[in-house]
Structure 1
Amino acid sequence: MKVILCLLYALLFAWPTGNATAHALDPGYLEIRQIASGTWSVHWRKPDVNGKPMSIDAVLPDGCTPARGPDPVSDSKAWVSSWVVECRAGIAGQPIEIEGLAVQNNDVLVRLHPLQAEPTTLRFTPDTSVQNIPSEQTTWSVFIAYFQLGFEHILEGWDHLLFVFALFILVRDPWRLVGAVTAFTLAHSITLALATFGVLNVPGPPVEAVIALSIVFLAMEIVKGGEGRSRLSKQKPWIVCFGFGLLHGLGFAGALADIGLPANDIPAALLAFNLGVEAGQLSFVGSLAVLVIAWRSVALPISQTATLATAYGIGSVSMYWFIERINGF
């Protein structure tokens, strides 16, 4: 029993507490917009890492002067810089490098806006820190980029994962669990789309605080369910998850607004991002199920005491986040 409790608490408290956000959707962003023949304006946004800009830099093609921008300044969320470059020839087919990205656990979106061509979106990762600018881009390439973005970054949203983890403990029936996770994704897809199109505009800090409370609620439901009570969250978890999903979608919207969406492919990008989120959530749930099955095959079943101890751990971490975010108003 002590071994089980130690493992569960290690999983819980390995997650960061300070400066935790609802969704760690914070890649770098580089926008290159043509303003005249041979002239481009550049906007470069670096993620913040403990109060300093991430150690990456955008390097434009050799024919562009200057190839690097000035030192960035903080806008309280990230580090930004803007400048104008002169490029001697067309930049299609020329390489762009995100220097230093290979040693970072992040990615960078690059958006190019030529005067006489459709905008192009590129996604740079640690494995692909140098790419050639394509002459044109398809909707399919936008779809792939935003699907990967949604999949990867949902797995870095610590309190979102904690919500799904609590849901996994609460809902024991596999099909009900999958239905609840899907309802959650459907709901935050709705509010994400409404916020993207300007229908909803809710301040971020209160949303982040209430998201932390949603995890506290699930922790309480786990505890009360252990007392033998029949709970709506267990009988019809998709109802609860749909309601909280609407809230979590607003958290996604604030983060996605910092990145932006390709103007000509907003529906495809939104659909791809949400499908990526769903795939990431189901992958996380599947990994938890495999771990539980493996544990039960070599050891005793997880006891009710361990479940309750985990619920109290989830509630404690979530309350810490809630208080931290209230103090940050």
Structure 2
Amino acid sequence: MSLLRALMVCCLFVVAATGARAHALDPGYLSLRQLDARAWQVFWRKPDVQGTPMAITARLPEGCAPATGPAPVSDGQAWASGWTAICPEGMAGRMIRIEGLERQATDVLVRFEALEQSPVTFRLTPSAPEFVVPEVQTVWGVLGTYGVLGFEHILEGWDHLLFVLALVLLIRAPRRLVGAITAFTVAHSITLALAALGHLSIPGPPVEAIIALSVVFLAIEMLKRNHAHPRLSERAPWMVAFAFGLLHGLGFAGALREIGLPESDVAVALLAFNIGVETGQLVFVAVILAAMFVGGRVVNGIGLGGPAVMRLGERVAGYGIGCIATFWLAERVAGF
């Protein structure tokens, strides 16, 4: 591939990257913390949509005053407001609703912290924009909530998915691919647990930049592949996957810290979130392998198969992945 063609491919993929950031639209966030028998501290943060707050409103149960907050103020990434609500009849057994969420394509996380009770987290969606506050959240409720959050996080984390995609494209031997994916899973499970439990703390922006760099590294490995002289990522893919998996786990932990862990069910919530992440990752790998199998059959069926076509496809994929990851890397370093 000539230099001009390579630059054209890069430009196309970077343009695509500007429309699809490393993570999908951030969810809204509602925090309710009880101050005394009647008063609740409310913090409401909703996503930014092209410089304006998303058209959603957090409405507290009937009888709480005020039921909605003041006009939000931009913090540079989203729109936030806070107020103190007086709820003479309390919150338990009563309904909280996010008005307008049914018309959006994002979720809202609700953190609820009553006096002398562990904080609990709920997830509201466009199909279920309201919920009744239970007296106590069950273990099954924690498993379901955090499992779904983990599943959605990995499928919305384009940088994590691009890393896994590069692994699948780079490592063709089934046994080595399984070993690499397993090493990646073990590694990010370790740092996810350590960081989420407060035993490891690294600033988020450098972690996000290094995650983008890990994708750039795999793209370079793809482009410099030489079957006569295998590179490190091909000789010991589990080692590369494990090393970078430690960093990706810190990225997962950053998202989990924003959600919060219920103090009474920390282990259950952490396990459920990790299971959700792994399930989403396995679903993604299965879809990629199925697409590669079907694509190969179609190409061979119309007579376009052959080593030359395979090499061209690998180089296009390598340049595409590398260009998007380089764009993310520059963007994240510039944001330090």
TM-score normalised according to structure 2 size: 0.87
- For 1:43, the aligned partner's letter is F
Cα distance in structure 1, aligned partners of 2:99 and 2:177: 42
Quote how far apart the aligned CAs of 1:278 are. Answer: 0.8
The 1:202–1:25 alpha-carbon spacing in structure 2 relative to 1, beyond 3 Å, is: farther
Aligned runs of 1:196-235 on 2, under 5 Å?
A: 196-235=196-235
The 1:57–1:288 alpha-carbon spacing in structure 2 relative to 1, beyond 3 Å, is: same
- For 1:247, the aligned partner's letter is L
Cα distance in structure 2, aligned partners of 1:83 and 1:68: 9
1:171-229 Cα deviation digits (max 9, x unpaired): 11334323322321221222222222332222222222221111111011112224532
Higher mean alpha-carbon deviation, 276-285 vs 80-89, is at 80-89
Q: Does the 8 Å CA contact 2:144/2:272 hold for their aligned counterparts?
A: yes
Cα distance in structure 1, aligned partners of 2:207 and 2:119: 32
Q: Does 1:187 align with 2:187?
A: yes
RMSD of equivalent CA atoms: 2.5
The 1:77–1:207 alpha-carbon spacing in structure 2 relative to 1, beyond 3 Å, is: same
1:237-256 Cα deviation digits (max 9, x unpaired): 22111100111122222333
- Corresponding residue for 1:138? 138
Higher mean alpha-carbon deviation, 283-292 vs 108-117, is at 108-117
How many residue pairs were aligned?
Answer: 322
- Corresponding residue for 1:20? 21
The 1:254–1:117 alpha-carbon spacing in structure 2 relative to 1, beyond 3 Å, is: closer
- For 1:320, the aligned partner's letter is F
Q: Percent identity?
A: 55
- Corresponding residue for 1:115? 115
The 1:77–1:267 alpha-carbon spacing in structure 2 relative to 1, beyond 3 Å, is: farther
Q: Does the 8 Å CA contact 2:25/2:106 hold for their aligned counterparts?
A: no
The 1:176–1:54 alpha-carbon spacing in structure 2 relative to 1, beyond 3 Å, is: farther
Q: Does 1:326 align with 2:333?
A: yes
Task: Classify the secondary structure of the residue corresponding to 1:91.
Answer: coil
Unaligned 5+ runs, structure 1: none
Higher mean alpha-carbon deviation, 57-66 vs 221-230, is at 221-230
Q: Does 1:316 align with 2:323?
A: yes
Cα distance in structure 2, aligned partners of 1:91 and 1:322: 44
Unaligned 5+ runs, structure 2: 1-5
Quote how far apart the aligned CAs of 1:232 are. Answer: 2.9
Q: Does the 8 Å CA contact 1:143/1:269 hold for their aligned counterparts?
A: yes
Cα distance in structure 2, aligned partners of 1:156 and 1:122: 19
Aligned runs of 1:1-329 on 2, under 5 Å?
A: 15-17=16-18, 20-21=21-22, 23-24=23-24, 26-300=26-300, 301=305, 303-329=310-336
The 1:299–1:146 alpha-carbon spacing in structure 2 relative to 1, beyond 3 Å, is: same
Quote how far apart the aligned CAs of 1:83 are. Answer: 0.9
- For 1:203, the aligned partner's letter is P
Cα distance in structure 2, aligned partners of 1:128 and 1:157: 23
Task: Classify the secondary structure of the residue corresponding to 2:34.
Answer: strand
- For 1:55, the aligned partner's letter is A
Q: Does the 8 Å CA contact 2:209/2:333 hold for their aligned counterparts?
A: yes
The 1:214–1:252 alpha-carbon spacing in structure 2 relative to 1, beyond 3 Å, is: same
Cα distance in structure 2, aligned partners of 1:120 and 1:199: 22
Cα distance in structure 2, aligned partners of 1:109 and 1:299: 45
Task: Classify the secondary structure of the residue corresponding to 1:225.
Answer: coil
Task: Classify the secondary structure of the residue corresponding to 2:270.
Answer: helix
Task: Classify the secondary structure of the residue corresponding to 2:69.
Answer: coil
